[in-house]
Amino acid sequence: MNDIMFADEAEVGPEVAPWKVLIVDDDEGVHAITKSVLKNQEIDGRGLKFYSAFSGGEAIELLGSIDDIAVVFLDVVMETNEAGLEACRRIREELKNDLVRIILRTGQPGSAPENEVIIKYRINDYKEKTDLTASKLFSCVVTAIRSYQDLINLEQSKQGLRKVIEATKTITKKKSIGMFLEGILDQLVFILDASESPVTTERSSCYTIACEADNRYTIMSSMGNRVLLTNSFSDLTMDVQAIITDCHREESNIIRDNLYAGYFHFGKDHAYIFCLAGSHELQEIDKNLLNIFAGNINIALENLFLNEEIINTQKELIEKLGEVVEKRSSEASQHVKRVAEFSYLLAQDYGLNETDAKLLNSASPMHDIGKVGIPDAILLKPGKLTEEEFEVMKTHAQIGYEIFNSSDRSLLKAAALIAIDHHEKWDGSGYPNGKKGEEIHIYGRITAVSDVFDALYHHRCYKPAWPIEKIVELFTEQKGIHFDPELVDIVLENLDKYEQVVCDK
């Protein structure tokens, strides 16, 4: 008679799940009486749902497959004289279930002394069957269920705090504001398990809203599975619109029923609201976790803005320094910006990840920084350099490398690699070290293609601009000689895109 289930006949509201009670006894009459006494009772607005097992082994199978049974009424003597006690041991030790409340019911109290079994088998209550009148049975269940609920709340608090820590660690790994804001929505759902209500299949929705001037709102990202997750503020429900506008006006976090809105503000121009429209009312534990998470997010987001500000400042300084070098050699300062954009696109098309492509974009403007160490007489000479002068000119690659290589910053390390490798050639005939093929760092190989393409396309003091046909002819001839053949193929197969990058705006 394994896995037999009896459900109470009382109506249970659709908004809440019933408490689950397992009756374990080899006497069918005990099941019937227990169910008859308790079936129409409600505890804290929730009815009862009964499961039946007629041996200790059946009880273990049920508890192994249903993890939210609140109370077990357990007989001692069933298939063996100590079957109930053995079931207790297995529940606690094998199933590792310390939450379920176990009420031992015995008709033979002498076979299981109360003081001994309560301690040894971690029983929560001990009752003789003859002592359980209808009122005492109900009181016993109420006490057990409330104890179970307290333990569940404590466990949820612990799990929730773990999730807040994990969620904060996850989002702080995001490398851009956009990725960070999207990550917050994922983690809000993760923390609250809000992706699905415990009693319905309706899902929650989350939104990241940017607060614009004149009290306008832009939905930057959203997630959920409702009919439409819109990017238009006016399409949101009235209650969601209301909590967002109130949150912005009050500049504080607000929780109402199933809604949460968190406000985050940085400087004069950056204000965001994260809104969660849950499928059920947020509980006190949810509110506490949201407040903790919001505090962590506020710190992390502020740090990310500061980090981006540092990165943008660093990138701008590098571009400006690259422009200074170009202006000193009487070339257009836009060259370094075009090389940076060309290198970024080529890195993406080649298959580098976004982090490396962006690093190359930021570092490539410094490819010729070593020219600061080249005398004007050579650097600004309009005609062809002599052999001796060209040997001096070639030293700019090593000079650029030495300028940056001592830094521990990844950006400057990348700039050092580009400086020393972007004049190397695929066949090994380049300088300064005569590297060959993939011995040349991919940053240097990409920058070489970008630099030469743009330099040929535009006028220089020592040459006029080349027509695109002549540039294509040179790259075709130098494929596998000067340039990485795979990179040449990518550029020539997407010529319109790359020509657009180097065109004067």
What is the Cα–Cα distance from 503 to 458, expressed in whole angstroms?
Answer: 9
Contact 167, 293 (CB under 8 A): yes
Backbone conformation region of residue 292, classed left if phi is above 0, alpha if psi is from -120 to 50, else beta: alpha
Q: Could you confirm whether 169 is annotated as catalytic?
A: no
- Segment holding 316, helix H or strand E: helix 284-328
Whether omega for the bond prior to residue 467 falls within 30 degrees of 0, making it cis, is no
Contact 264, 256 (CB under 8 A): no
> 262: which 2 tokens?
């968190």
User: β-strands 205-211, 125-128: how paired?
Assistant: unpaired
- Segment holding 41, helix H or strand E: none
- β-sheet bridge partners, residue 73: 23, 103
Active-site residue identified among 20, 35, 49, 371: 371
Contact 71, 101 (CB under 8 A): yes
Q: From 422, 133, 406, select the one nearest 141 (Cα to Cα).
A: 133
> 382: which 2 tokens?
């309009």
Around 115, how many Cα atoms within 13 Å sit in the side-chain half-sphere? 0
> 366: which 2 tokens?
């410094």
> If DSSP codes are grouped into helix, strand and coil, which group holds residue 222?
strand
> 352: which 2 tokens?
């580098």
Backbone conformation region of residue 381, classed left if phi is above 0, alpha if psi is from -120 to 50, else beta: beta
What is the Cα–Cα distance from 421 to 415, expressed in whole angstroms?
Answer: 10
What is the Cα–Cα distance from 14 to 201, expressed in whole angstroms?
Answer: 12
Rounded to 5 degrees, what angle do the CA atoms 23, 29, 33 make? 70
> If DSSP codes are grouped into helix, strand and coil, which group holds residue 171?
helix
What is the Cα–Cα distance from 96 to 100, expressed in whole angstroms?
Answer: 10
Instruction: Tell me the H-state helices in 47-113.
Output: 56-65, 83-93
Contact 205, 230 (CB under 8 A): no
> If DSSP codes are grouped into helix, strand and coil, which group holds residue 407?
coil
Residue 336: count other Cβ atoms within 10 Å of its Cβ. Answer: 27
Active-site amino acid positions: 371
